[in-house]
Chain A
């Protein structure tokens, strides 16, 4: 299958700082990228959907000013957690798909710990 690379895999940051997570599709062009959040022993919760070149669409309850998403190219999307707080600590996962009705491939995930 296609490869989606997510970086970093783990990050620890201080409360109040911002952290950026990158999601890259390595061998295909991703028209659409998705960002998920996963709490321990729970399912993936969709945070937002980003289409290349346009603004991200956020799910209800997700603060767009706190979780900034940029999808500047067909191979890269970034999620920036601004002014991070301990409650933002979670496992963040991206996925990417070529187009509608095609499977989404997941990155390895990023374990964010805010101290």
Chain B
């Protein structure tokens, strides 16, 4: 099955700096890579995603890159703000037995220091 590794597990940055979270995956059949932000006591919220036919995607301060050859993808947050503080999960998704199966990384706790 798929194995997704995510690092770092914790990340502290000063407000205004950039934050980068990296993930690797093992299953070359994975073709969809979403990123989720989870605030305490809430369900994950999709913040950005990328498909395997694209190398980079950007949405305002958030960008994601994908290297299919190396099987790794990264989340970049620029100009971080205190409200960016949360746990971020990467995920890799593939079709398995006729349905979409999502495997999550272990999560990165991001703390933005004002």
Query: Interface on A for B, CB 8 Å cutoff?
Result: 1, 6, 32, 34, 42-44, 46, 49, 51, 57, 93, 95, 97, 100-109, 111
Residues on B with beta carbons closer than 8 Å to the beta carbon of A101: 31-32, 93, 95, 100
Docked CA distance A6–B98 (Å)? 25
Name A's interface SS: strand
- Given A43-B104, A44-B89, the answer on whether A32 and B99 have CB atoms closer than 8 Å is yes
Within residues 77 to 106 of chain B, which ones have a CB less than 8 A from any CB in chain A? 89, 93, 95, 97-106
Task: Determine the residue in chain B with the shortest Cβ distance to A92.
Answer: B43
Q: Is the CB of B95 within 8 A of A34?
A: no
15 intermolecular pairs with C-beta atoms under 8 Å apart: A32-B99, A43-B104, A43-B107, A44-B44, A44-B89, A49-B101, A93-B44, A95-B102, A97-B100, A100-B98, A101-B100, A103-B32, A103-B46, A106-B45, A107-B43
Cβ-based interface call for B61 (8 A)? no
A6 to B42 Cα, complex, angstroms: 11
Report the minimum CB–CB distance from A22 to chain B (whole Å).
14
Knowing A32-B99, A43-B89, A101-B95, say if A109 contacts B106 (CB, 8 Å).
no
CB-CB under 8 A for A43 and B105, given A106-B36, A109-B42:
yes
The CA of A111 and the CA of B46, in the complex, are separated in Å by: 20
Residues of A within 8 A of B42 (CB): 108-109
- Any A CB within 8 A of the CB of B114: no
Known: A46-B102, A107-B43; 19 extra A-B contacts, CB below 8 A, are: A1-B46, A34-B102, A43-B89, A44-B44, A44-B89, A44-B104, A51-B99, A57-B97, A57-B99, A93-B44, A100-B98, A100-B100, A101-B93, A102-B100, A103-B34, A103-B49, A106-B36, A106-B44, A111-B41
